[in-house]
Amino acid sequence: MRSLAVLIALAGVAHAEPRRAVTLGEALAAAKKAPGVVVGGHELAAAEAQVDAATAWPSPSVHVATNRLTARLVAGATVPLPVFGTVGAAKRQAQAEADVVRADVDVARRELEHRAVLAWIALARADGDVVATSIAAQQSAELELIAKGRLSAGVGGEVDVTVASAARARADVAAAAAQRAEDAASANLAGVLGWDPSVSMRAEGGLVTGEARDLAAMRARLAQHPERAAALRRVDASEASLDVVVAQRWPLLALEASVSFNDPTLPGATSWDRSDAAIGVALELPIFARIGDKERAARATEAAQRARLVVTETELGAGLYAAYRTWQAASERLRSLERDVVPAQERAAALSAQAFREGARDLASALQAERDLAAVRAEVNSARADAASTYADLQLAVGDEVGSAK
């Protein structure tokens, strides 16, 4: 209970300077509005606009001419009629490509949120290091005070005071370095979220290290993984591109109309009597368009996307297994340290300090015990952050929303 009170008190001292408290939920909410996400929104808007643009017909053409011997004015127009499915194929292709962009934007959003979670965990780790080094500095100062008291009482040596002073100075240096590392972690989180890096922050709230999970159940959920969904959308887009090429095998039909005004070669008393109109159709034959080569290229692209889908599924399966085992190892290490190592080391440090205070042991033993305790506390802080970061990696690997407690 006393150690908890000391921890809380030193945490307040360590953050004596004003720091903005940021919870994991606030960091995730900010990540959804970060500059990287905004870029994805614009890309998606552009892709959706392309879907509407794909329904456009080929542009009509108008021509006007005159002759010296025949009609004084010849005007005509050509209106292409995409009646063989080319517009529909183009729209399906644009829609499929928009689906790819949408899937890629979702993947990019999840990756950015993952970066935000890891940056927040790094800040929490730095906060814990500040607290741990501050505790170590306080305990070193207490041992120095005890050594000076024993020297004044005539039961200690000056060498003990010198050693204790050196240990305190070393602990103070470590505490100052931890403060600077905390500033760097704060700036890194601000960079991910698009905030002002000069505003110092600290992580508020506990780290999410996860509960026991079933590996087989997580494997079954890989079928809905966002990265697999993006790979499927690329396969669909390649199929739509193939349809566009196949539709180009058909000729392009165009409606043509022309008017010849005041043609002296025609009989009639007035200009209108000597005018004529013509209407017809034209077929643009794709004889030299090398559609066969384009189709082979489109089919090869489709095969490549299907192969990439298999690669994605393989990598997702392997990545999930690796992330699960890494998180499992980090969680077990954290539990062992908290359950077995920390209580024993705290008792050893307390007994060593009491023995030195009573003259039963020398200063070196007490200092070593305090150093070991500080090292264990730093190890626990690092293990807790490792468990949280590996759990975030596991959430990303299985396709969950990163940062959730589930």
Each residue's pLDDT tens digit, 94-144: 999 999 999 999 999 999 999 999 999 999 999 999 988 888 888 888 878
The pLDDT, as a whole number, for residue 384 is: 93
pLDDT band at 70 (very low <50, low <70, confident <90, very high): confident
In a domain, 61, yes or no: no
Question: Mean of the per-residue pLDDT values for the chain?
Answer: 86
In a domain, 327, yes or no: yes
| pLDDT above 90 for 19 | no
**Structure token digits, residue 285:** 């034959």
In a domain, 307, yes or no: no
* Residue pair 392/117 in contact by the 8 Å Cβ criterion: yes
Q: What number is the average pLDDT over the span 1-21?
A: 51
Dihedral sign, Cα of residue 301, residue 306, residue 309, residue 315: negative
The pLDDT, as a whole number, for residue 5 is: 39
Dist. CA 115–CA 392, nearest whole Å: 9
The pLDDT, as a whole number, for residue 371 is: 81
Residues 224-236: pLDDT tens digits? 999 999 999 999 9
Q: Which residues of 307-317 are buried (b: 16+ CB within 10 A; e: fewer)?
A: eebeebbeebe
| pLDDT above 80 for 4 | no
| pLDDT above 50 for 13 | no
Report, in angstroms and rounded to the nearest whole number, the Rg of the chain calculated over CA atoms. 37
Print the domain residue range for 346.
85-251+316-398
* Residue pair 202/183 in contact by the 8 Å Cβ criterion: no
pLDDT band at 17 (very low <50, low <70, confident <90, very high): low
pLDDT band at 187 (very low <50, low <70, confident <90, very high): very high
In a domain, 3, yes or no: no
More confident residue, 99 or 160: 99
In a domain, 368, yes or no: yes
Q: Residues 223, 228, 231, CA angle at the centre, nearest 5°?
A: 145
| pLDDT above 70 for 1 | no
Dihedral sign, Cα of residue 369, residue 370, residue 372, residue 376: positive
Dist. CA 144–CA 152, nearest whole Å: 12
Dist. CA 157–CA 143, nearest whole Å: 14
pLDDT band at 377 (very low <50, low <70, confident <90, very high): confident
Q: What number is the average pLDDT over the span 176-190?
A: 94
List Cβ neighbours of 295 (8 Å cut-off, separation of 6 or more).
Answer: 242, 245, 246
Distances (CA, A) of 150 to 129, 141, 160, 161, 347: 31, 14, 9, 9, 23
Q: What are phi and psi of 130, to 5 degrees?
A: -60, -45
In a domain, 209, yes or no: yes
In a domain, 134, yes or no: yes
**Structure token digits, residue 46:** 């552009």
**Structure token digits, residue 237:** 């887009």
- Number of domains composing the chain: 1
* Residue pair 37/109 in contact by the 8 Å Cβ criterion: yes
| pLDDT above 90 for 334 | yes
The pLDDT, as a whole number, for residue 185 is: 94
In a domain, 323, yes or no: yes
| pLDDT above 80 for 269 | no
List Cβ neighbours of 191 (8 Å cut-off, separation of 6 or more).
Answer: 197
| pLDDT above 60 for 241 | yes
* Residue pair 72/261 in contact by the 8 Å Cβ criterion: yes
The pLDDT, as a whole number, for residue 191 is: 93
The pLDDT, as a whole number, for residue 253 is: 84
CATH number, domain containing residue 127: 1.20.1600.10
Note the pTM of the prediction, 2 decimals: 0.80
